[in-house]
Amino acid sequence: MKSLVEHIAKALVDEPDEVRVTEQQEGDTLCITLSVHPNDVGKVIGKQGRTAKAMRSLVYAAAVPEHKRVRLDIVD
């Protein structure tokens, strides 16, 4: 999951070296935190949150075969 989110985010931003992805297990949920350069937050979120929603959909779909719950948080 971490590599999937990192790969997508690096393709979207102007500062790919500033992309940081961390995973943390909280109970039965895998929490993925995506951190990007402050100037790139808008690119990762997209207009009306469409890009963020699409990223979350991909992560949720990737988690289904593993029977996991996933939460994706985007921070600057």
- Listed in sequence order, the residues at least 6 apart from 70 whose beta carbon sits closer than 8 Å to its beta carbon are 1, 29, 30, 31, 32, 59, 60, 62, 63
What's the pLDDT score for residue 28? 86
**In angstroms, rounded to a whole number, what is the distance separating the alpha carbons of residues 8 and 6?**
6
Q: Which of 70, 76, 57, 74 is nearest to 26 (CA)?
A: 70
What's the pLDDT score for residue 59? 93
What's the pLDDT score for residue 39? 94
pLDDT tens-place values along the chain, 76 residues long:
899 999 999 999 999 999 999 999 988 899 999 999 999 999 999 999 999 999 999 999 999 888 889 999 998 8
Q: Under a CB-based contact definition with an 8 Å cutoff, are residues 15 and 36 in contact?
A: yes
Domains of the chain (ranges, CATH numbers): 1-74 (3.30.300.20)
Burial class (CB in 10 A: 0-12, 13-18, 19+), 49: exposed
